[in-house]
Amino acid sequence: MPSAPSNFFTHLECSMTGARIEADQPHNLSPEGWPLLARYDLAAMKGRLDRDAIAARSASDHPGFWKWRELLPVTNDEDIVSLGEVDTPLIDATGTAAQIGASGRLWVKDEGRLPTGSFKARGLALAVSMAKSYGVQTMAMPTNGNAGAALSAYGARAGMTTYSFCPEDTPDVNVREIAGQGGKVFRVNGLIHQCGAIVGALKEQMGWFDVSTLKEPYRIEGKKTMGIELAWQLGWKLPDAIFYPTGGGTGLIGMWKAFDEMEQLGWIGSERPKMFAVQAEGCAPIVKAYEAGEEHAPEWLDAHTFAAGIRVPKAIGDFLILRAVRESEGAALSVSEDQIEAARQLCGGEDGLLLCPEGAATLAACQSALERGLVERDSDIVLFNCGSGLKYPLPDPKRSLDRTQVITPDMLEA
Ligand SMILES: *Cc1c(COP(=O)(O)O)cnc(C)c1O
C-alpha cells in the first residue's frame, strides 16, 4: 500500500502569469522571468490535518518551523537540513508601547533567536533542503550578510560548497561569520545587485545553483512559516498590523501567502493585518513606487543605510510586495538613520530588547504610522526584529573611569 504523502506540495506556479511548472528539478525564475511560487493540494489537506495537532508536535521530532512540514515542499524527511530551529518568541514591548502612544498590544517577534541569528535561517533551511533533494552540490548568492551566513551554515551541514558575494560595506562580522561556517565569501566593490551579476555571469561555468532572493522558489516557503507561527502564537488570530523590514520582500510575500493558505485550510478567517513594508530613506524603492501608485519599483540609485538587510535597490518581487501592502490597506514607509538609532535605544532601554537596525526601523515606522493615523492607537501590532542586535556595530557609550583617582557618585551620573 502506498504510504500517505508527508506533504501536499504539488507544483510551482509563475507569480505573474499563473503558468504551471513541474517541480521535478531545481528551478530559478519562470520562463517569463518572474518568481515562482510553490503550490499545495490544500483541498486534500483540509480536514485531514488538525492545526492544533500539528502545533503540538514535539520539538525533538520537528524543531521549530519544521512542525509545519505538510505546508512545506520537502517530501522526504532525510532531506531536511536542520540546525535546531526554534519557534521565535513574541515578546510584549510594554515600555516601548507606552512611549510611542500605542495603547493596544505591541509585540516584537524576535527572529534573532534562530540559527545564524537571523530569519534568513527560515528561507535558507528550505532552499538548502530542497537543493539537497535534487542532488545540488554547489550554490551561490549575492548577500548583504545574513543570507550568506545562513547559506554557509545550512550548506556546510548538507555537505555542499557555497559561495557568497557581499557588497564591501557588509558588516564585517557577517563576512567573517560566513567564512567561519565553511562558506567561500568575497567582498565586492559594488551593491547587492552588482554582486548578483557576478553570480549570473559565472553560474554556468561554475555549476552553481543560484539561490538569490526570489530567484529560487523555496526561500519564500521557509519565510512563510513566520505567518503560520504568528497565527498559532496568537491563538489563530492575526494582529491588526504587521511592520516588516523590506529588502527583497521574501518574508512579507511569504506571510501573505501563508495567510491565504491557512484561510483555504480553514485555520483562520478572511481578516488580514495591515501590512507595512518598512525601508530606510537612503534606499526606499518600494516606498517610492507605493507613493507613485506603480506596480514595479525601478532601481534605487546611490543606496545607503546602516540597516544592511534592507539595502536592496531593486527587488524582483516588487509587484508582489506592493500588492500585499495595497490589498491589506497597509502602506510602505521609510525612516531616517536617526529614527532607526533612536528606536534601537528606546526599545533596548525600555524593554531590554536590543533590536537590529532593520528591526529598529520597524519600530520607527510604527511610531510614525501611529502619529499619522495609519494605524489606530489601540491596534494589536507585531514588529519583526529580523536578526540579533549583536551582529551589528553599536554606538560606543564612551564612559570610562580612572581607578587611580577617587571615584565619586557624580562621575557615574555624568
Ligand atoms: C534579509 C534581511 C531583511 C529583509 O528581508 P526580506 O524578507 O528579504 O525583505 C531585513 N532585515 C535583515 C536583518 C535581513 O537579514
Per-residue pLDDT of the chain (414 residues; tens, 9 = 90+): 344 456 899 999 999 999 999 999 999 999 999 999 999 999 999 988 889 999 999 888 899 999 999 999 999 999 999 999 999 999 999 999 999 999 999 999 999 999 999 999 999 999 999 999 999 999 999 999 999 999 999 999 999 999 999 999 898 999 999 999 999 999 999 988 899 999 999 999 999 999 999 999 999 999 999 999 999 999 999 999 999 999 999 999 999 999 999 999 999 999 999 999 999 999 999 999 999 999 999 999 999 999 999 999 999 999 999 999 999 999 999 999 999 999 999 999 999 999 999 999 999 999 999 999 999 999 999 999 999 999 998 989 989 999 999 999 999 986
DSSP 37: E
CB 277 within 8 A of CB 249: yes
* Ligand 1 pocket, mutate which of 325, 386, 392 (most atoms under 8 A from CB): 386
Looking at the chain, how many residues does it have?
414
Q: What is the per-residue pLDDT for 188?
A: 97
Give the angle 217-220-225 at the CA atoms, nearest 5°: 140
Q: Take residue 170 and report the three cell numbers written for it.
A: 557588509
- CA 118 from centre of chain: 8
Quote the pLDDT of residue 81. Answer: 98
Mapping DSSP onto H, E and C, the string for 261-304 reads HHHHCCCCCCCCCEEEEEEECCECHHHHHHHHCCCCCCCCCCCC
The gap from C-alpha 410 to its chain's centroid, in whole angstroms, comes to 45
Angle at 289 between CA 291 and CA 141, to 5 degrees: 145
Nearest to 243 by CA among 155, 353, 370: 370
* Burial of residue 236 (number of CB atoms within 10 Å: 0-12, 13-18, 19+): middle
Q: How far is the CA of 244 from the centre of ligand 1 (A)?
A: 9
Give the integer Cα–Cα distance in Å for 173 and 87.
Answer: 25
Using a 10 angstrom Cβ sphere, with 0-12 exposed, 13-18 middle and 19 or more buried, the burial of residue 128 is: buried
User: For the residues of 133-162, what is the DSSP string, one character each?
Assistant: HTT--EEEEE-SSHHHHHHHHHHHHTT-EE
Ligand 1 cavity residues, CB under 6 Å: 118, 120, 146-147, 213, 223, 245-251, 309-310, 356, 358, 386-387
Ligand 1 atom with least separation from CA of 223? 7
CATH topology of domain 90-117+220-391: Rossmann fold (3.40.50)
- Mutation to probe ligand 1, out of 113, 114, 120, 383 (largest number of atoms < 8 A from CB): 120
The structure's pTM equals: 0.96
Q: Give the three-state DSSP class for 363.
A: helix
Q: 57 in the Ramachandran plot: left (φ > 0), alpha (ψ -120 to 50) or beta?
A: beta
Only one residue has cell 529598529, namely: 360
Which residue's CA is minimally distant from atom 8 of ligand 1? 248
Q: Whose CA is nearest to atom 12 of ligand 1?
A: 309
Domain ranges of the chain: 90-117+220-391
Locate the ligand 1 atom nearest the alpha carbon of residue 253 and give its number: 7
Q: What value does the CA radius of gyration of the chain take, rounded to a whole number of Å? A: 21
Distance from C-alpha of 359 to C-alpha of 356, rounded to nearest angstrom: 5
- For residue 65, the CA-to-ligand 1 centroid distance in Å is 18
Confidence at residue 191, expressed as pLDDT on a 0 to 100 scale = 85
Contact call for residues 212 and 242 (beta carbons, < 8 A):
no
Alpha-carbon separation of residue 79 from 8, 37, 152, 229, 392 (angstroms)? 16, 20, 17, 22, 33
Contact call for residues 242 and 59 (beta carbons, < 8 A): no
Cβ within 8 Å of residue 291, ≥6 positions away = 332
Mutational pocket test of ligand 1: of 164, 175, 178, 246, the residue with most ligand atoms within 8 Å of the beta carbon: 246
